[in-house]
Amino acid sequence: THFGFETVTEAEKRERVAGVFTSVAESYDRMNDLMSFGWHRIWKDHFVASLNPGFSPLSSSSDPRSPQHILDIAGGTGDIAFRMLHTAHVLNANPSVRVTISDINPAMLSVGKQRSTSLPASQQAALSFVEANAEDLTRTTPLLTSTSSPSPVPPQEIPSESVDLYTVAFGIRNFSNIPAALREAHRVLKPGGVFACLEFSKADKFPLFNTLYKEWSFRAIPLIGQLVAGDRDSYQYLVESIERFPSQTEFRDMIVDAGFVVAGEGYEDLTGGVAAIHKGMKP
Ligand code: SAM
Protein backbone atom coordinates (compact mmCIF):
# COMPACT_ATOMS: atom_id res chain seq x y z
CA THR A 1 0.00 0.00 0.00
CA HIS A 2 0.89 3.62 -0.23
CA PHE A 3 2.61 3.86 3.14
CA GLY A 4 3.42 0.17 3.39
CA PHE A 5 1.77 0.08 6.82
CA GLU A 6 2.17 -3.67 7.12
CA THR A 7 5.83 -3.21 7.87
CA VAL A 8 5.76 -0.16 10.12
CA THR A 9 5.95 -0.26 13.88
CA GLU A 10 3.31 1.08 16.23
CA ALA A 11 5.46 4.12 16.94
CA GLU A 12 5.87 4.86 13.25
CA LYS A 13 2.15 4.54 12.66
CA ARG A 14 1.49 6.92 15.55
CA GLU A 15 3.85 9.46 14.05
CA ARG A 16 2.23 9.21 10.62
CA VAL A 17 -1.26 9.54 12.05
CA ALA A 18 -0.08 12.62 13.95
CA GLY A 19 1.29 14.08 10.74
CA VAL A 20 -1.92 13.40 8.85
CA PHE A 21 -4.15 15.13 11.41
CA THR A 22 -1.84 18.07 11.97
CA SER A 23 -1.85 18.61 8.26
CA VAL A 24 -5.64 18.28 7.84
CA ALA A 25 -6.81 20.08 11.04
CA GLU A 26 -7.66 23.38 9.37
CA SER A 27 -9.47 21.86 6.38
CA TYR A 28 -10.92 18.89 8.29
CA ASP A 29 -14.51 20.07 8.69
CA ARG A 30 -14.91 21.27 5.10
CA MET A 31 -13.31 18.11 3.73
CA ASN A 32 -15.68 15.88 5.72
CA ASP A 33 -18.64 17.49 4.01
CA LEU A 34 -17.12 17.20 0.56
CA MET A 35 -15.96 13.63 0.89
CA SER A 36 -19.14 12.21 2.38
CA PHE A 37 -21.69 14.48 0.61
CA GLY A 38 -22.60 15.70 4.08
CA TRP A 39 -23.52 12.17 5.21
CA HIS A 40 -21.15 12.33 8.17
CA ARG A 41 -23.51 14.89 9.76
CA ILE A 42 -26.45 12.51 9.45
CA TRP A 43 -24.41 9.62 10.89
CA LYS A 44 -23.20 11.77 13.80
CA ASP A 45 -26.74 13.05 14.50
CA HIS A 46 -28.02 9.50 14.50
CA PHE A 47 -25.16 8.27 16.70
CA VAL A 48 -25.80 10.94 19.33
CA ALA A 49 -29.59 10.57 19.17
CA SER A 50 -29.25 6.82 19.68
CA LEU A 51 -27.22 7.45 22.86
CA ASN A 52 -29.63 10.17 24.04
CA PRO A 53 -27.22 11.66 26.61
CA GLY A 54 -28.76 13.24 29.67
CA PHE A 55 -32.07 11.49 29.25
CA SER A 56 -33.59 10.37 32.47
CA PRO A 57 -37.03 8.80 32.72
CA LEU A 58 -37.45 10.43 36.14
CA SER A 59 -37.83 14.10 35.45
CA SER A 60 -39.75 15.69 38.30
CA SER A 61 -38.05 18.54 40.12
CA SER A 62 -37.61 16.34 43.20
CA ASP A 63 -35.50 14.04 41.01
CA PRO A 64 -32.67 16.15 39.71
CA ARG A 65 -31.42 14.60 36.53
CA SER A 66 -28.38 12.51 37.03
CA PRO A 67 -24.98 14.00 36.31
CA GLN A 68 -23.12 12.18 33.57
CA HIS A 69 -19.54 12.28 32.46
CA ILE A 70 -19.04 11.67 28.76
CA LEU A 71 -15.55 11.05 27.45
CA ASP A 72 -15.27 11.73 23.72
CA ILE A 73 -12.09 10.03 22.60
CA ALA A 74 -10.36 11.14 19.40
CA GLY A 75 -12.84 14.00 19.68
CA GLY A 76 -10.91 16.13 17.18
CA THR A 77 -12.73 19.33 16.28
CA GLY A 78 -15.70 18.60 18.56
CA ASP A 79 -18.49 17.34 16.30
CA ILE A 80 -19.61 14.59 18.68
CA ALA A 81 -19.03 16.48 21.93
CA PHE A 82 -21.01 19.52 20.77
CA ARG A 83 -23.94 17.33 19.70
CA MET A 84 -23.81 15.51 23.05
CA LEU A 85 -24.01 18.78 24.94
CA HIS A 86 -26.87 20.07 22.81
CA THR A 87 -28.87 16.88 23.27
CA ALA A 88 -28.23 16.70 27.02
CA HIS A 89 -28.50 20.37 27.97
CA VAL A 90 -31.15 21.55 25.51
CA LEU A 91 -33.24 18.61 24.32
CA ASN A 92 -33.12 16.68 27.60
CA ALA A 93 -32.85 19.79 29.80
CA ASN A 94 -30.07 18.17 31.80
CA PRO A 95 -27.30 20.73 32.39
CA SER A 96 -25.39 18.41 34.72
CA VAL A 97 -23.95 16.44 31.79
CA ARG A 98 -20.33 17.29 31.07
CA VAL A 99 -18.08 16.22 28.23
CA THR A 100 -14.33 15.76 28.04
CA ILE A 101 -12.92 15.97 24.51
CA SER A 102 -9.74 13.98 24.32
CA ASP A 103 -7.45 13.71 21.32
CA ILE A 104 -3.82 12.87 20.69
CA ASN A 105 -3.46 15.85 18.38
CA PRO A 106 -3.31 19.39 19.80
CA ALA A 107 -3.90 20.94 16.36
CA MET A 108 -7.28 19.19 16.03
CA LEU A 109 -8.16 20.11 19.64
CA SER A 110 -7.27 23.76 19.05
CA VAL A 111 -9.67 23.95 16.13
CA GLY A 112 -12.30 22.35 18.39
CA LYS A 113 -11.61 24.79 21.18
CA GLN A 114 -11.93 27.70 18.78
CA ARG A 115 -15.22 26.32 17.41
CA SER A 116 -16.58 25.85 20.94
CA THR A 117 -16.48 29.60 21.58
CA SER A 118 -19.73 29.92 19.60
CA LEU A 119 -21.57 27.57 22.00
CA PRO A 120 -23.73 28.96 24.83
CA ALA A 121 -21.62 29.78 27.90
CA SER A 122 -23.22 27.02 29.99
CA GLN A 123 -22.19 24.45 27.40
CA GLN A 124 -18.66 25.83 27.16
CA ALA A 125 -18.41 25.51 30.94
CA ALA A 126 -19.34 21.81 30.70
CA LEU A 127 -16.56 21.09 28.20
CA SER A 128 -12.94 20.27 28.80
CA PHE A 129 -10.14 19.52 26.37
CA VAL A 130 -7.32 17.10 27.06
CA GLU A 131 -4.47 15.68 25.06
CA ALA A 132 -4.15 11.93 25.40
CA ASN A 133 -3.35 8.78 23.54
CA ALA A 134 -6.49 6.62 23.66
CA GLU A 135 -4.27 3.61 24.30
CA ASP A 136 -3.05 5.05 27.61
CA LEU A 137 -5.50 7.23 29.49
CA THR A 138 -3.31 7.24 32.59
CA ARG A 139 -1.35 10.13 31.09
CA THR A 140 -3.47 13.04 29.89
CA THR A 141 -2.55 16.72 29.78
CA PRO A 142 -4.90 19.69 29.50
CA LEU A 143 -4.77 21.39 26.10
CA LEU A 144 -2.30 24.26 26.33
CA THR A 145 -3.64 27.45 24.81
CA SER A 146 -1.60 30.48 23.86
CA THR A 147 -2.83 32.15 27.06
CA SER A 148 -2.03 29.24 29.39
CA SER A 149 1.15 29.23 31.40
CA PRO A 150 4.03 27.64 29.55
CA SER A 151 5.06 25.57 32.57
CA PRO A 152 4.50 21.89 31.84
CA VAL A 153 1.62 20.28 33.71
CA PRO A 154 2.24 16.80 35.08
CA PRO A 155 0.22 14.15 33.24
CA GLN A 156 -3.02 13.15 34.92
CA GLU A 157 -4.83 9.86 34.93
CA ILE A 158 -8.44 9.45 33.88
CA PRO A 159 -9.49 7.47 36.94
CA SER A 160 -10.87 3.96 36.64
CA GLU A 161 -14.67 3.74 36.74
CA SER A 162 -15.17 7.48 36.34
CA VAL A 163 -16.96 7.69 32.98
CA ASP A 164 -20.61 7.00 32.14
CA LEU A 165 -20.34 7.09 28.37
CA TYR A 166 -17.25 6.63 26.19
CA THR A 167 -17.60 7.73 22.58
CA VAL A 168 -15.20 7.45 19.69
CA ALA A 169 -16.21 8.57 16.19
CA PHE A 170 -14.03 7.99 13.13
CA GLY A 171 -11.04 7.68 15.43
CA ILE A 172 -10.42 4.08 16.40
CA ARG A 173 -9.23 2.91 12.99
CA ASN A 174 -6.28 5.27 13.38
CA PHE A 175 -5.12 3.74 16.65
CA SER A 176 -1.95 1.66 16.54
CA ASN A 177 -3.18 -0.75 19.21
CA ILE A 178 -6.97 -1.09 19.17
CA PRO A 179 -7.14 -3.82 21.88
CA ALA A 180 -5.17 -1.53 24.24
CA ALA A 181 -7.64 1.31 23.58
CA LEU A 182 -10.59 -1.02 24.26
CA ARG A 183 -8.97 -2.11 27.53
CA GLU A 184 -8.58 1.53 28.54
CA ALA A 185 -12.21 2.22 27.61
CA HIS A 186 -13.22 -0.67 29.84
CA ARG A 187 -11.03 0.58 32.69
CA VAL A 188 -12.34 4.16 32.75
CA LEU A 189 -16.03 3.24 32.38
CA LYS A 190 -18.23 2.72 35.43
CA PRO A 191 -20.01 -0.61 35.68
CA GLY A 192 -23.12 -0.15 33.55
CA GLY A 193 -21.26 2.45 31.46
CA VAL A 194 -21.43 2.34 27.69
CA PHE A 195 -18.75 2.16 25.01
CA ALA A 196 -20.03 3.58 21.70
CA CYS A 197 -18.11 3.75 18.46
CA LEU A 198 -19.01 5.27 15.09
CA GLU A 199 -16.59 4.21 12.38
CA PHE A 200 -16.32 3.49 8.68
CA SER A 201 -17.04 -0.15 8.03
CA LYS A 202 -17.67 -2.68 5.28
CA ALA A 203 -20.37 -2.01 2.70
CA ASP A 204 -19.94 -5.43 1.11
CA LYS A 205 -23.52 -6.63 1.65
CA PHE A 206 -24.52 -4.79 -1.56
CA PRO A 207 -21.91 -5.59 -4.24
CA LEU A 208 -22.87 -2.99 -6.86
CA PHE A 209 -23.11 -0.22 -4.29
CA ASN A 210 -19.81 -1.39 -2.81
CA THR A 211 -18.09 -1.16 -6.19
CA LEU A 212 -19.27 2.42 -6.69
CA TYR A 213 -18.30 3.32 -3.14
CA LYS A 214 -14.78 1.91 -3.59
CA GLU A 215 -14.36 3.80 -6.86
CA TRP A 216 -15.36 6.99 -5.12
CA SER A 217 -13.01 6.36 -2.17
CA PHE A 218 -9.92 5.33 -4.04
CA ARG A 219 -10.18 7.73 -6.96
CA ALA A 220 -12.11 10.79 -5.86
CA ILE A 221 -11.12 11.28 -2.24
CA PRO A 222 -7.34 11.57 -2.75
CA LEU A 223 -8.05 13.90 -5.69
CA ILE A 224 -10.38 16.12 -3.64
CA GLY A 225 -7.74 16.10 -0.90
CA GLN A 226 -5.17 17.31 -3.40
CA LEU A 227 -7.39 19.99 -4.92
CA VAL A 228 -9.10 21.33 -1.81
CA ALA A 229 -6.60 20.74 0.97
CA GLY A 230 -3.44 20.55 -1.14
CA ASP A 231 -2.66 17.24 0.54
CA ARG A 232 -3.14 14.06 -1.45
CA ASP A 233 -1.14 11.75 0.82
CA SER A 234 -3.15 12.39 3.98
CA TYR A 235 -6.41 11.60 2.22
CA GLN A 236 -4.90 8.57 0.54
CA TYR A 237 -3.97 7.40 4.04
CA LEU A 238 -7.54 7.94 5.28
CA VAL A 239 -8.96 5.79 2.47
CA GLU A 240 -6.45 3.01 3.09
CA SER A 241 -7.10 3.05 6.83
CA ILE A 242 -10.80 2.44 6.14
CA GLU A 243 -9.90 -0.52 3.93
CA ARG A 244 -7.71 -2.08 6.63
CA PHE A 245 -10.18 -1.69 9.49
CA PRO A 246 -11.87 -4.95 10.63
CA SER A 247 -15.39 -5.91 9.53
CA GLN A 248 -18.47 -5.28 11.66
CA THR A 249 -18.41 -8.76 13.22
CA GLU A 250 -14.62 -8.86 13.71
CA PHE A 251 -14.71 -5.52 15.50
CA ARG A 252 -17.72 -6.63 17.58
CA ASP A 253 -15.69 -9.66 18.68
CA MET A 254 -12.80 -7.41 19.73
CA ILE A 255 -15.22 -5.38 21.88
CA VAL A 256 -16.50 -8.57 23.51
CA ASP A 257 -12.92 -9.77 24.05
CA ALA A 258 -12.24 -6.54 25.97
CA GLY A 259 -14.95 -7.50 28.46
CA PHE A 260 -18.02 -5.68 27.15
CA VAL A 261 -21.43 -7.22 26.70
CA VAL A 262 -23.30 -6.43 23.51
CA ALA A 263 -26.99 -6.55 22.67
CA GLY A 264 -28.12 -8.52 19.63
CA GLU A 265 -25.52 -8.42 16.87
CA GLY A 266 -23.68 -5.65 18.68
CA TYR A 267 -23.67 -3.22 15.76
CA GLU A 268 -25.87 -1.18 13.47
CA ASP A 269 -25.03 -0.52 9.82
CA LEU A 270 -25.46 2.99 8.45
CA THR A 271 -25.82 3.69 4.72
CA GLY A 272 -25.39 0.05 3.74
CA GLY A 273 -22.40 -0.43 6.04
CA VAL A 274 -20.33 2.52 4.80
CA ALA A 275 -20.33 3.35 8.51
CA ALA A 276 -21.41 1.35 11.54
CA ILE A 277 -22.19 1.97 15.19
CA HIS A 278 -20.90 -0.52 17.75
CA LYS A 279 -21.99 -0.43 21.37
CA GLY A 280 -20.98 -2.44 24.40
CA MET A 281 -21.78 -2.22 28.09
CA LYS A 282 -19.31 -2.76 30.90
CA PRO A 283 -21.01 -5.30 33.16
N1 SAM B 1 -14.34 12.43 16.34
C2 SAM B 1 -14.10 13.54 15.42
C3 SAM B 1 -15.15 13.57 14.35
O4 SAM B 1 -15.92 12.60 14.27
O5 SAM B 1 -15.23 14.53 13.60
C6 SAM B 1 -12.68 13.49 14.82
C7 SAM B 1 -12.36 12.29 13.97
S8 SAM B 1 -10.81 12.42 13.13
C9 SAM B 1 -11.16 11.56 11.63
C10 SAM B 1 -9.77 11.26 13.96
C11 SAM B 1 -9.09 11.79 15.19
O12 SAM B 1 -8.42 10.71 15.85
C13 SAM B 1 -8.02 12.83 14.92
O14 SAM B 1 -8.35 14.02 15.58
C15 SAM B 1 -6.74 12.20 15.47
O16 SAM B 1 -5.84 13.12 16.04
C17 SAM B 1 -7.29 11.25 16.51
N18 SAM B 1 -6.40 10.16 16.91
C19 SAM B 1 -5.62 9.38 16.12
N20 SAM B 1 -4.93 8.50 16.85
C21 SAM B 1 -5.27 8.70 18.15
C22 SAM B 1 -4.89 8.08 19.39
N23 SAM B 1 -4.04 7.06 19.42
N24 SAM B 1 -5.45 8.54 20.52
C25 SAM B 1 -6.33 9.58 20.49
N26 SAM B 1 -6.73 10.20 19.36
C27 SAM B 1 -6.21 9.76 18.19
Q: Round to whole Å and give the CA distance between 104 and 171.
A: 10
Kindly give the distance from the C-alpha atom of residue 121 to the centroid of ligand 1, in angstroms, as a whole number: 25
* End-to-end CA separation in angstroms for the chain: 40
Q: For residue range 222-261, list pLDDT tens digits in order.
A: 998 898 888 898 889 889 999 999 999 999 999 999 999 9
Q: Round to whole Å and give the CA distance between 262 and 2.
A: 35
Q: Round to whole Å and give the CA distance between 192 and 202.
A: 29
Closest ligand 1 atom to 135 CA: 23
Residue 58's pLDDT band, with cuts at 50, 70 and 90, is low
As a whole number, the mean pLDDT across the chain is 90
The total number of structural domains that make up the chain: 1
In this structure, the residue with its CA closest to atom 10 of ligand 1 is 171
Count H helices and E strands in the chain, helices first: 11, 8
To test the pocket of ligand 1, the residue of 26, 28, 103 to mutate (highest count of ligand atoms within 8 Å of its CB) is: 103
Strands (E), the chain: 68-73, 97-103, 127-133, 136-142, 163-169, 189-200, 267-270, 275-281
% of the chain beyond a pLDDT of 70 = 92
- Say which CATH number the domain at 129 has: 3.40.50.150
CB atoms under 10 Å from CB of 2, counted, come to 11
How much is the ipTM here?
A: 0.99
Q: Round to whole Å and give the CA distance between 21 and 25.
A: 6
Residue 151's pLDDT band, with cuts at 50, 70 and 90, is low
Q: For residue range 161-195, list pLDDT tens digits in order.
A: 999 999 999 999 999 999 999 999 999 999 999 99
Kindly give the distance from the C-alpha atom of residue 58 to the centroid of ligand 1, in angstroms, as a whole number: 35
Site residues for ligand 1, CB cut-off 6 Å: 17, 21, 74-77, 79-80, 103-105, 108, 133-135, 169-171, 174-175
Q: For residue range 109-120, list pLDDT tens digits in order.
A: 999 999 999 999
Is the pLDDT at 49 greater than 70? The verdict is: yes
Is the Cα torsion angle 155, 164, 201, 35 positive or negative in sign?
Answer: negative
Q: Which residue has the higher pLDDT, 8 or 280?
A: 280
Which residue range is the domain that position 16 belongs to?
Answer: 5-281
Q: For residue range 82-96, list pLDDT tens digits in order.
A: 999 999 999 999 999
Q: Under a CB-based contact definition with an 8 Å cutoff, are residues 47 and 70 in contact?
A: no
